[in-house]
Chains A and B, each alone.
Chain A
């Protein structure tokens, strides 16, 4: 059986909110190392991969592999009943028909309990190759969101060019062109404001802004976002979850190729 207790319901609320624009139904795969999720959007352009490590919960118990097939809009409806600061406990039997969600207010004076019906989802998993990316950029997550939203007003595509000079996001559309260039800089007082660029060779790729803007729904989960790029492979956009236990929310986006 599964029994996992999250100190802050907010974490799951935000994860579900961040991925529900891309994915309708997906399996939450539970095993002794934690709860994982992998799903593509309907048009197979983007892939979401989430890992909530057992260490993100206290306590966490899962004796055997359990797949929780969940409709995300149904889960959203149930999670609306949870206050952000509630303690959230997820429970399921082996081979379950329902997942049980319990929300406890931090003052412990209210306990809400919901059973969400599960679906049988026949989901194929993709093998994501270990990649040494040519460029990785760590930047404030709200800055990345801002850039994507601003450039979406110009075009549906953005080119991301990373050189030793910095990283340039550029868009060209009917009304004109726009670009934002970021250079590496460290902010000692506010490390979350730093931009770090790790480059082994220059990269230039184009991506759909509609998807990138969708990914940035995860912005409130982490102060930093990491972009990893290599020529001719999908972009990786990564948000760290729940500080320091290597839980993550990753989005992969297939590039636009040719002209």
Chain B
């Protein structure tokens, strides 16, 4: 279970 996180929370925009 758990809440799906977003890739944007980990990798910043260049």
Contacts and interface: CB of A to CB of B under 8 A. Distances in A.
Interface of A: 40, 43-47, 124-129, 157, 206, 208, 233-234, 252-259
Interface in B1-14: 1-14
Given A126-B11, A126-B13, A127-B12, A254 B3 contact: no
A233 B2 contact: no
A254 B14 contact: no
B5 A257 contact: yes
Interface of B: 1-14
B13 to A, nearest CB: 5
Contacts of A46: 7
A43 B1 CA distance: 18
Contacts of A253: 7
Contacts of B9: 254
B4 to A, nearest CB: 5
Contact of B7 (A157, A208, A254, A257): A254
Contacts of B8: 40, 44, 126
A258 B5 CA distance: 10
20 contacts: A40-B8, A44-B6, A45-B4, A47-B7, A125-B13, A126-B14, A127-B11, A208-B4, A252-B7, A252-B11, A254-B5, A254-B6, A255-B2, A256-B2, A257-B2, A257-B5, A258-B2, A258-B3, A259-B1, A259-B2
B2 A40 contact: no
Contacts of B1: 157, 206, 256, 259
A251 B1 CA distance: 21
A234 B3 contact: no
A94 to B, nearest CB: 23
A44 B1 CA distance: 18
